Amino acid sequence: MMQEDIARQDGGADICLSAIFNNSISIREVCMPIGSAVQIGHKVVVYDLSGHPMFTKLGELYGFTGRALTVRRGGTHLLTIYDELGRQLATVPGPR
């Protein structure tokens, strides 16, 4: 059985689909891109393209794209990278 991942643009939100070539398509997850990220006190609040809050992380905002957020945590030089669903992807050393 062959499987292919498909992403389609639908009204501003990417809908991630997993297509299996036996005439069925299943929705794997809805992937709304990150629209903005704002530092509020010790938290970073992430918003979607419509301005609705998506998730919050503790730490200092280091940067973001539509697909990833990077936060410096606890005053260390380590950077934690999250995806658009708030799942941790990696922790890497940052500048000192």
pLDDT digits (tens, 9 = 90+) for 53-93: 999 999 999 999 999 999 998 878 999 999 999 999 999 99
Read off the pLDDT of residues 10-45 as tens digits, 9 standing for 90 and up. 444 444 444 444 555 544 456 789 999 999 999 999
Its pTM surpasses 0.85: no
Domains of the chain and CATH, by start: 1-31 (no CATH), 34-93 (2.40.10)
CA dist 62 and 56 (Å) reads 14
Q: Which two tokens stand for residue 47?
A: 């918003």
Q: List, as own/partner pairs, every contact residues 50-55 make where C-beta atoms lie below 8 angstroms and the sequence separation is at least 24, other chains included.
A: 50/12, 54/84, 54/85, 54/86, 55/82, 55/85, 55/86
